[in-house]
Structure 1
Amino acid sequence: MDEEEEVYNVLFGNPYFPRMYGSGNNYLVIDFIKGQTLFSCLTNGIPIKDKHIKEIDKALELAKVEGLNPFDIHLRNILITVEGNVKLIDVARFR
């Protein structure tokens, strides 16, 4: 089992991370997330609200509670969905 696949299994049901539907040799099938990365928000002048920062902190804390060690989090791995929610992607280095 791939490391990233294992992490998505641990995070199953966590609303701050996409759901994984399947995997294979060198690929994962996860939710398609419509929205903007924090990087694109900053470069395009889209406001990032305090609520988003709090959601990011909560998402990382919930991952830690599951025994994960989230790092390599950067502005291109955090999205604000069109509904205004936060989703974190690229969890391969959470172990």
Structure 2
Amino acid sequence: MGTTQVKQKVFVANFAELPPRIGREIVVDGLKIAVFRLSDDRIKAIGGACPHKQGPLAEGIVAGEYVFCPLHEYKVSLIDGKVQEPDDGCVATYDTLVEEDKVYVLV
């Protein structure tokens, strides 16, 4: 029998306060999470530190469904957290929720 882990619903911001393609970093129990509003208004959340040199992904440039690390331009998928070739590595991904114009991350 597996155990069911209850996820914590963490408020990020009001939807209108998240500009498209600009990251926002939140910290939950010491864990850095980068939250992004894509140009099509989907909300994505990934681990906030690049697996290469721990660059702050929330400060990266967003293009489509990817963010480029501001330190060394590693390209990280906002969908599955994988670093794109020829580089490698990955970051965690988190489910997001928008309720009554409020944005949450499920941790």
Q: TM-score range by the shorter chain?
A: under 0.3
Question: TM-score when scaled to structure 1?
Answer: 0.26
The structure that is strand-richer by fraction is 2
Question: TM-score when scaled to structure 2?
Answer: 0.25
Ranked by relative contact order (alpha carbons within 8 Å, sequence separation 6 or more), the top structure is 1
